[in-house]
A and B are shown apart, each in its own frame.
Chain A
Amino acid sequence: MTSFMPPADRHWWKVPVGRQELVWIAIALVWCIIMFLMMPLWHVYGKQNLSTEAYQTTPAKYGAKVEEMVNKYKVGVEAGIPVVKPPAGSDIYMLGRLWQWYPVLKLKKNQQYRLHLSSMDYQHGFSLQPININLQVVPGYDMVLKVTPDKSGVYSVVCNEYCGIGHHTMVGKIYVED
């Protein structure tokens, strides 16, 4: 009589399915297909898609590239961390380490940059606030994204992947100027 007994029909797979279930399955399947198609469609029509460009690297190699950029384009220091203003369209670098984002970046509004991210030690989480863009920063991988800041202002980079006792002190900055 119930769900914990064997089906009433020995050949239960031959019993026709009721209309209600068929209708619901059809509706649900259509919705599933729509949701599935939204992702490739967004690659074509949407503006927020992650590139898949990434390189294997080491903390030493990556750190050297960051330093090179810092030495070339440094325009100041904030809270002991260099502030750099690289030219629009260039490769810009940020690294995560215990417990800071390095360096501070100054970007131009509506210009595209190739942003590189990597970690020098543990995994970190690049969480750009207040607009809430979140990326995983993994040691050994140099992740490259084309970013186009489209609003000026001061943005903070919060770490949102647990990285030890000082995790909550890991806050960096990105300035976007008109």
Chain B
Amino acid sequence: MAEFRVCPDSGFYFNKSAESLMKVNAVAGIVALLVAGLLALGVVLTRWQEVHWLPADTFYMVLTAHGINALIFWVIFFEMAVLHFASSTLLRCRIATPRWAWAGFSLMLIGAIMNNIAVFSGQSSVMMTSYVPMQAEPHFYLGLILFAVGALIQVFVFFGTLVIAQQEKTYEGSVPIVTFGAITAAIIAVFTIASGAIILIPTFLWSIGYVSHIDAEMYRVIWWGMGHSSQQINVAAHVSIWYLIAGVLFGARPMSEKVSRFAFLLYIFFLQLASAHHILVDPGISSEWKIFNTSYAMYLAVLASMIHGLTVPGSIEVAQRRKGLTKGLFEWLRKAPWGNPVFSAMFISLVTFGFIGGITGVVMGTEQINLIIHNTIYVPAHFHATVVTGTTLTFMAATYLLIPVLFRRALFLPKVAKIQPYVFGGGMTILILFMLGAGTMGVARRHWDMDFAGAAMAFHYPAIAYTLMAVGAIGGVLAIVGGGMFLAVSVGSLLFGKKLEPSAGILESFAGKPLQASAYDVDKPPILAMAPQLEEKHQHHGGGFEAPGTFMLALLLLVTFVVYYFINWKYLASVWPLG
């Protein structure tokens, strides 16, 4: 029975079962993003002190739900779609045990809904981190546990699919770099979910009275083994998608397979040490432990990101130069398809993730510098640069790619799609930069009122902090508009987008509803061949640099990094001596 269809535009082979699973996971993720985005409006318009929209209890409930839906449900649902794509589609392989994958998806869905019910009932406003001994309702924790178990099942289906692909020899040589990156994400996911299970299961038992006490410090250390590592799944996944988009749009290949894979390997070895980033000003933790863990052994995972930061744009530059765009340092970049949202979203993501997310992350994760940053609004500013302009914008780029390829629909409102990455990325960048500034003024995160109304002792932030928060909020509103544009395009495309051939009537666009049987006319896709050899003359320019423009950008990143890093040491040196 024919189980595969070939996408006439991209040449990807889709397995029927895998395709449905990709659709449902992606759609569930986008629904979570919709919820998170709506809630973001409540957060932004409350922290904008002149507006100060929501009352305190609603604000904390909204902030809890915003964090969990965005940082956990949206990204992990979408990552499940990425995993199935990187295994079944890229390797032209049937998916392992699709029923188990459906069971995993169902558990995730049930868990996500259960957790949201707990939060919106108002009795579980404990923030995403749910630090003990503040207690949420039992189904808050149970929802997260079910979601994690479901994700773990889908991750194992991914591993199973890799095994099938290898045994049935659906590809030649080694797996593509994109699949390699997805394997990295999946391995980190297993570690993440294990950490989550170790801490959330006892916490759930504590919430129903079976365990009497959870140590607050132990909770922090292990919870962040999940909380931070889950964001490292994002990093591995979105870097893989950068490579994918570079390949699809430019025919790019990694400058060196060895270097890019080695960089992913460094992620596996070192990224999960990041729990320490959250423990740097906690009681009783030794300095040696902090230094080793917070620096990922010796900044080896940072080294990995710096490598990808060179090789991803570098691979695009090499491919563009091969097409004749060789003038100066930057013709390849100037003449890139800036009007194509797949490219613009991906490239904005690359730049903001590196320049803002990466640099601020390393700075605030420095053992002593954390003192002047911990729990200020600098922290959410940092992770909006990594998870929102980094991961979310990349996943938006992937969605623009998948709408024609996976869902077989033309983009709805293409003009809106064209500017969406700029509106979203621009608004979010404003929010981030101004929140970073407010954080250095000491403005607290997770805080309802920067006027401290009702406090017995008055304290006032400097006036400039209010201005920074207000401008940041305007950026936030702009980003929410950009998010709305994304949802209008993506959901609109599924409902109203022009159908592409081979098409099968109304049903194909909905999640889980397969294309007409006649679309699946391939029994067994041809074996995925190795990439063709490059002609020798293109490989080296007499020992010169292959991608000089990218090298300049990388040096710019380095200079920014060094300057900003030492500015923060100087700032630290001005506060009270502590010992």
Contact = CB atoms under 8 A, between A and B. Distances in A.
B416 interface: no
A100 B457 CA distance: 10
Contact of B529 (A5, A81, A161): A5
Contacts of B529: 5-6
B287 interface: yes
Residue with the highest number of chain A CB atoms closer than 10 Å, among B177, B246, B287, B456: B456
Given A2-B251, A7-B174, A171 B448 contact: no
B338 interface: no
A141 B531 contact: no
A127 B440 contact: no
A112 to B, nearest CB: 8
B209 interface: no
Q: Which 7 pairs across A and B sit closest by C-beta, in order of nearness?
A: A54-B284, A3-B247, A143-B283, A2-B247, A32-B299, A160-B444, A156-B459
Contact of B575 (A125, A133, A164): A133
Interface of B: 56-57, 60, 90, 127, 131, 133-134, 171-179, 215-217, 220, 243-244, 246-248, 251-259, 261, 279, 281-287, 291, 295, 298-300, 302-303, 306-307, 310-311, 314-315, 362, 366-368, 370-376, 440-442, 444-449, 452-459, 461-462, 528-534, 540, 543-548, 551, 554, 558, 561-562, 565, 569, 572-579
Interface of A: 1-10, 12-13, 15, 17-21, 23-25, 27-29, 31-33, 35-36, 38-40, 42-43, 46-54, 78-81, 100, 104, 112, 117, 121-123, 125, 127-136, 138-143, 145-151, 156, 158-173
B456 A79 contact: yes
Contact of B134 (A29, A148, A163): A163
Contacts of B565: 35
Given A8-B533, A35-B362, A35-B366, A15 B283 contact: no
Contacts of B572: 46, 48
Given A19-B543, A46-B573, A50-B578, A4 B374 contact: no
A166 B453 CA distance: 10
Given A4-B248, A50-B578, A123 B131 contact: yes
A169 B217 contact: no
Contact of B442 (A5, A15, A28, A129): A129
A141 B283 contact: yes
19 contacts: A4-B248, A5-B531, A24-B310, A25-B303, A40-B291, A47-B577, A51-B578, A117-B283, A123-B131, A134-B371, A136-B283, A138-B283, A148-B579, A159-B444, A160-B447, A162-B127, A165-B57, A168-B453, A169-B456
Residue with the highest number of chain B CB atoms closer than 10 Å, among A49, A80, A112, A138: A138
